[in-house]
Structure 1
Amino acid sequence: MPRIAYVNGRYVPHTEARVHIEDRGYQFADGVYEVCEVRHGLIVDLTRHLDRLDRSLSELRIAAPMSRKALTGVIREVVRRNHVRNGLFYLQVTRGVARRDHVFPSASVKPALVVTAKSTDPKGIAAKNEKGIKAITVPDNRWDRVDIKSVGLLPNALARQQAKEEGAQEAIFIDVDGMVTEGAATNVWIIDRDGFLVTRPADHGILKGITRTTLMDVAEKLGVEIRERRFSRAEMLAAREVFITAATSICFPVVEIDGQVIGNGHPGETAERIRGHFFEIAEKIAI
């Protein structure tokens, strides 16, 4: 079955999906996006993803492309048409198509909306959870407003490419003070030497991940104490456990960073425990 995309009011074959050359997302990265998991035919944490989308749009002063009810209908239809049972959908909103100019176009220019969906291989994710992944650290050279889920991801792409070239699966950003911010596409967590679950506060310097937020709910239910505080690269390397979270991976254990083994070199029990209970807590909406 061919893939189907939604592009500005039309459901079209994925291979024929097009946006205009003067779309501001293409020319200025003037847009935002969300990625949301589909698991066993259910959309995971949709409400929180759409809440964050609304916030990102508001921060960039981009109007919502349609009502939330209508957008939810489009998302469901794209997932259905692509027969996705386990996978994800990608949603992108840009300021729209207008003559190239750095200042915003007039209010008559409508935001552009694209939604796609694809299946993923649960076995591949399970293998990474079983073995753990490797990561590298890189200087954080991104713009200051990483709290906005903007499509301007060139530093993230360069970091991920460097990780791949070094045989790793994620790059972890380190700020000018030597403190961990987040991964190129993930939030970072550690179990510190005192046994606390630690992650950087989401008030500045990182994106407030949806999986991160739901994981906090899971940890609370399990009685795992969380400390939101900054932590250094050195503390991360000395941690009992390190893991990363994202909608597409939930909770990947990190067993090696910059060539140094983390803990005992095997996935830790905290990550496994949280992952095992995650979908008991996460919102699940039928397609």
Structure 2
Amino acid sequence: MEQIVYVDGAFVPAADAKVSVFDRGFLFADGIYEVSAVLDGKLIDNDSHLARLERSVGEIALALPETLPRIVEIQKELIARNGLIDGVIYLQVTRGAVIPRDFVFPKEAKPTFVMFTTAKDIVNAASAKTGIAVKTMPDIRWARRDIKSVALLAQVLAKQAAAEAGCQEAWMIEDGQVTEGGSSSAFILTQDDVLVTRENSSAILPGCTRKAVMKLAEERQLRVEERAFSVSEALAAKEAFITSASLFVQAVVTIDGQRIANGRPGPMTNRLREIYLEFARATAV
């Protein structure tokens, strides 16, 4: 089946999809992206992702080319056209293409809007059973990490270094504290059974899966604390895990080659993954 992508109002074969070389997303990373999970052909927690999209474009004075209800219609049609059962749907909006190249926002630019799907078995991922290894890296990103910008070079370099070290994720470190993963939110479970994750601010992206997991935990009277934590605190924790739209909840079992607890996914992480999957399936649209 040939993959179909969405480009500026048209559904086209991937091989025929084109964006101008003068597009500001390509030239300046002047754009925003979002990723929503798909299970059983349905969108997971999509309202949260679209709300974050709307906030991010607002922070850089970029107008969405479609209304949110219309974006949902496009997402669903793209899922259907690709026969996607499980995976993710990616969308990106940039400030568009204008000649000549100039740093200042062009008044006549029309936003570029693209979407595509990727098949992925999130539920049965092997790493959900084994846990993942993390490598720590200095957080060299810009100061507005709360904006889901397409400017991801720092994350690319961090995740490449992690991959070369045999790890599946990088944890970004600033002032001795963990900010977040290269493409995920970071959590630990302390020895006194408190779930800890960094508080939302311009230092991290406000994770949609993070938000849902925290709410689900609090509804079950689990103690949740939003604050920074260090790598040494993570290594001394009962459990550690990450959350993201493309992974849901996954255990972290080593950091820089050092085991956390017994080096296997812990019962709290496994239970939170189960709870999130129940939530995802119950609220899918």
- Report what 1:268 is aligned to: 266
2:203 to 198, 202, 205: 205
Q: Aligned partners of 2:122 and 2:173: how far apart in 1?
A: 31
* 1:1-287 pair list within 5 angstroms: 1-99=1-99, 100-106=101-107, 108-122=108-122, 125=125, 127-175=126-174, 177-282=175-280, 284-286=283-285
1:80-133 deviations in Å (ceiling 9; x for gaps): 111111001000000111121000000x321110000121134761x1111111
Q: Aligned partners of 2:277 and 2:237: how far apart in 1?
A: 26
* Post-superposition offset of 1:222: 2.1
* Post-superposition offset of 1:280: 3.0
* Other structure's SS at 2:248 match: coil
- 89 and 161 in structure 1: CA distance in 2 versus 1, 3 angstrom threshold: same
TM-score, normalised with respect to structure 1 = 0.96
Maintained 8 Å contact 2:38/2:44: yes
Maintained 8 Å contact 1:42/1:284: no
What letter corresponds to residue 134 of structure 1 in structure 2? A
**Structure 2: runs of 5+ lacking an equivalent:** none
Runs of 4+ in 1 over 4 A off after TM superposition: none
What letter corresponds to residue 103 of structure 1 in structure 2? V
* Post-superposition offset of 1:30: 0.2
Q: Aligned partners of 1:41 and 1:66: how far apart in 2?
A: 22
Q: Which moves more between the two structures, 87-96 or 271-280?
A: 271-280
What is the alpha-carbon root mean square deviation over aligned residues? Answer: 1.2
Maintained 8 Å contact 2:122/2:246: no
* Other structure's SS at 1:248 match: coil
Aligned length: 283
**Structure 1: runs of 5+ lacking an equivalent:** none
What letter corresponds to residue 249 of structure 2 in structure 1? C
Maintained 8 Å contact 2:216/2:276: yes
Maintained 8 Å contact 1:159/1:171: yes
Question: Percent identity among equivalent residues?
Answer: 44
* Post-superposition offset of 1:8: 0.7
What letter corresponds to residue 104 of structure 1 in structure 2? F
* Post-superposition offset of 1:204: 3.0
TM-score, normalised with respect to structure 2 = 0.97
- 123 and 215 in structure 1: CA distance in 2 versus 1, 3 angstrom threshold: closer
Maintained 8 Å contact 1:82/1:118: no
What letter corresponds to residue 72 of structure 1 in structure 2? V
* Other structure's SS at 1:102 match: coil
